[in-house]
Chain A
Amino acid sequence: MTPDLIVDAVLAALVLGLASTAMFVASVRIAVGAFIALGAVVAVLWARLGAPDVALAEAVIGAGLTGALLLRHLGLADEGEGEGEGDTGRDGTREDARDGRRDGGVA
């Protein structure tokens, strides 16, 4: 095993781990964190594949923009909860986030 191969194997394992965390974890907060980390790792992988332009775009869109928008609306969902049915959980599960979205929604 060359050092390059080890780095790539670790990155690939990280991608699989972070992607499944983002998809399957119950806490939407952890899912968003995993998604942002996934964007960063995928950007590094693109750079290692010799595609710096794709790496930059992935870092900008995958980790940066989408991450910022997700975090922003995570915050909005939390604030929406406060105005809603009171104690609908601060543990930040996916259901809570959806409720919050509805409470603070266009209604």
Chain B
Amino acid sequence: MVLGALAAAAALFVGLVLLQPVPGLTPEVERHIAETGVSNPVTAVLLDYRAYDTLMELLIVVLALLAAEPLAPRIAARAPLAGPVVVGGIGALAPALAVLGGYVLWIGATAPGGALQAAALWAAALILLETVGRGLVPRATNHAAGLSAIGVAVFFGAGLGAVAFTGMPLDWPAKHAGAIILGIEVAAAAALALGLAALFRAGTAAP
């Protein structure tokens, strides 16, 4: 098996060396970036050119949450951690993570960052808070999934609403595209953070 893996790695390496560079879609992305309201090409692709892709990915997290709940082992949640260091530490860390997540979300319009990265930071804060018994995620997973689905619905609704202005679903009117993308990213990041935090403790009953 190890030899097979090494052979596969070697074959991939040779293939990569032999590969001819192709122009790709970078020029296309750059030509229309002014219409997207953001200057970070990755955000432009994820939230404008291929917004339907991101919408589906968001939906997958909610579906994963609904699927994980019945499949996860049923285990009683651990008693909350106590003690001044862990409670004080998490009490200080969680708000810092929340602010950092907001910054990463905001900066996503112009530099690397965005909803997924922000959601990961927020989910980490939610999970940390839960370990000291100050969790903000609803206990029932279907409630968490329902809240998470609100974020997906905001994205979906905005996508449908775009038809009225541009005639195409998920095609933002160029004038307000930046603001629309920011709003969708906030909703998506909140939904993702909630979904991921609930996914983390799926199957556990209240202590």
Contact = CB atoms under 8 A, between A and B. Distances in A.
Interface string A50-78: 00110111001100110011001100110
B26 to A, nearest CB: 12
**Would you call the interface of chain A mostly helix, strand, loop, or mixed?**
helix
Interface residues of A, number: 26
Given A16-B9, A20-B2, A57-B116, A69 B199 contact: yes
Given A16-B9, A52-B112, A69-B199, A76 B73 contact: yes
B137 to A, nearest CB: 14
B200 interface: yes
Nearest to B124: A64
A56 B117 contact: yes
A64 to B, nearest CB: 5
Nearest to A54: B42
Contact of B75 (A57, A68, A76): A76
B200 A106 contact: no
A23 B2 CA distance: 9
A55 B111 CA distance: 13
B75 A80 contact: yes
Given A24-B2, A106-B70, A57 B117 contact: yes
Contacts of B72: 73, 76
A56 B203 contact: no
B120 interface: yes
Interface in A1-52: 16, 19-20, 23-24, 52
A53 B75 contact: no
B134 interface: no
Contacts of A23: 1, 5
A24 B1 contact: yes
Which of A56, A64, A105 gathers most chain B CB within 10 Å?
Answer: A56
Contacts of A64: 120, 124
Nearest to A80: B73
A76 B202 CA distance: 11
A56 B113 contact: yes
Interface of A: 16, 19-20, 23-24, 52-53, 55-57, 60-61, 64-65, 68-69, 72-73, 76-77, 79-80, 101, 104-106
